[in-house]
Amino acid sequence: MDINKIIIEIKKRYSYIGSNPIYVGMSGGVDSSVTAVLLKFAKFNVRGLYMLCWNDNTPECTTDLDLRDAESIALTYNIPFQVIDLRKEYIQKVIEMSRKSYEGGITPNPDITCNDVIKFGILYDKLKGALIEDFYLATGHYAIVRHQSGIGLFTLHAGFDDTKDQSYFLYRILNKYDRLNRIIFPIGEYPKTLIRDIAKKINLKVASKPDSQGICFIGNVSLDKFLDKKDENNRGEIINLSGDVIGAHKGCEYYTIGQRKKLDISTYCEKPMYVINKNIKTNTIVVGTKEDAYMTEFQVKNLILSEIDSKALKNKIRVRVRNLGKKISCEIFFSESDFKKNKINSLNIRLKYPEFGVAIGQHAVFYKNDRVVGGGVISKVNTSYKKHFSF
């Protein structure tokens, strides 16, 4: 490991920034801390900020510790530091929207919403409104923004480290092209192990701090506690593919497609049972074997697509339906006339081979090689069990 070489690479890669300020979202974790310090070592005009999004004084909430760590590192390296209070926006735009989604029977992704609406939405707008100078926004995400000099476009790519790639969580910044050229992910070009080694070599106090888990900014809180429902009268039936009642559940919102644990099944089943469908209207959960939880066809809406043509959408595109999930080759179906009119509202996807637990409300992200070309919210799933049973 040659830190000086990495610093030179970063300085060269972002030479176009010059003396303009780079605001680094410092979460108090190792990734964002190393990001800020490397940029500082590369002689950029670094300014740290902490996004205060949640603080409920529960054991799962690490806000106070994270803020202290971020502030301490900024002080150590002489980085100007500020706290931006986004709690009101975070509760309204992320927490409440996620709760409504769960209660509506779908499985949301709060991290994607947070990146889209809070970090690269409201935060960016606040900085833009408060500054008269050009600025850049950096985070410790494992993803890459590249400038395609031949066509003058900025594109989003998967991070170098396949085990830590976070491009899935970031695809919706493609909808913010006016700011994509001012977003940088300096450590996306490197493996996580190297970032840890750098932190240890420079004696960063958070070098061995565990990666954050659970919901963005909240921590590793259970779904039960997150929903915090007081109504205990939402129990319903669990049925099998034959329509037989084989157990009970405490509410559809507490379960997701592909889930095996916490199913109160009272009837003996030869094989483990998994959630394969939910019906909020009848408050019923359908379970089947693991094989029944695999899907090959689904629909995607609320689309974000990059500057690509219809031919590219049909040529060697792979799709990922969960963070760090397999990128599966697929066929994409849509109306050519709608595409030409820029009015595509949905895409129908057929996977080359089945994927486990595709859930409505989750996101499907499309890749061409390592480049993110778009994505959207899964709105309908054609499940294999429907040939046996339907509501």
Domains by residue range for the chain, with CATH: 3-201 (3.40.50.620), 230-288 (2.30.30.280), 295-387 (2.40.30.10)
User: Are the C-beta atoms of residues 94 and 115 closer than 8 Å to each other?
Assistant: no
What is the distance between the alpha carbons of residues 198 and 233, in angstroms, rounded to a whole number?
53
* pLDDT for position 252: 87
The backbone region for 267, taken as left when phi is positive above 0, alpha when psi lies in -120 to 50, beta otherwise, is beta
What sign for the dihedral angle of Cα 94, 141, 156, 316? negative
User: Are the C-beta atoms of residues 366 and 312 closer than 8 Å to each other?
Assistant: no
What sign for the dihedral angle of Cα 35, 38, 44, 48? positive
Catalytic residue (one of 53, 114, 252, 330): 114
Cβ neighbours of residue 228 closer than 8 Å, sequence gap 6 or more: none
C-alpha closest to that of 254 among 239, 275, 240: 275
Q: Is 61 a catalytic residue?
A: no
Longest Cα–Cα distance of the chain, Å, equals 68
What is the distance between the alpha carbons of residues 381 and 383, in angstroms, rounded to a whole number?
6
* pLDDT for position 387: 44
Q: Is 330 a catalytic residue?
A: no
Q: How many CB atoms lie within 10 A of CB 221?
A: 17
Cβ neighbours of residue 385 closer than 8 Å, sequence gap 6 or more: 241, 276, 277, 286, 288, 292
Q: DSSP label at 246?
A: E
Please provide the distance, in angstroms rounded to a whole number, between the alpha carbons at the two ends of the chain: 59
Q: Which two tokens stand for residue 54?
A: 């949640």
Cβ neighbours of residue 21 closer than 8 Å, sequence gap 6 or more: 45, 46, 47, 131, 133, 135, 136
* pLDDT for position 390: 37
**Residue that has been written with the tokens 């409300």 in this structure:** 361
Total residues found in the chain within this entry: 391
Cβ neighbours of residue 382 closer than 8 Å, sequence gap 6 or more: 295, 296, 297, 298
* pLDDT for position 73: 96
Q: What is the pTM of this model?
A: 0.90
* pLDDT for position 130: 85
Collapsing DSSP states into helix, strand and coil, what is residue 130?
Answer: helix
What is the distance between the alpha carbons of residues 234 and 99, in angstroms, rounded to a whole number?
16
The backbone region for 228, taken as left when phi is positive above 0, alpha when psi lies in -120 to 50, beta otherwise, is left
Cα distances (angstroms) measured from residue 331 to each of 9, 22, 121, 335, 359: 38, 40, 32, 13, 19
Catalytic residue (one of 53, 216, 252, 330): 216
Kindly give the confidence (pLDDT) of every residue in the chain, 391 residues in length, as a single tens digit, with 9 standing for 90 and above.
789 999 999 999 999 999 999 999 999 999 999 999 999 999 999 999 999 987 766 666 778 888 999 999 999 999 999 999 999 999 999 989 988 888 888 888 999 999 999 999 999 999 998 887 889 999 999 999 997 765 567 899 999 999 999 999 999 998 877 889 899 999 999 999 999 999 999 999 999 888 876 666 555 665 666 666 555 567 889 999 888 999 998 888 888 899 998 888 888 888 899 999 988 888 899 999 999 999 999 999 999 887 666 666 777 899 999 998 999 999 998 876 666 666 678 899 999 999 999 999 999 999 999 999 999 999 999 865 554 333 3
Collapsing DSSP states into helix, strand and coil, what is residue 89?
Answer: helix
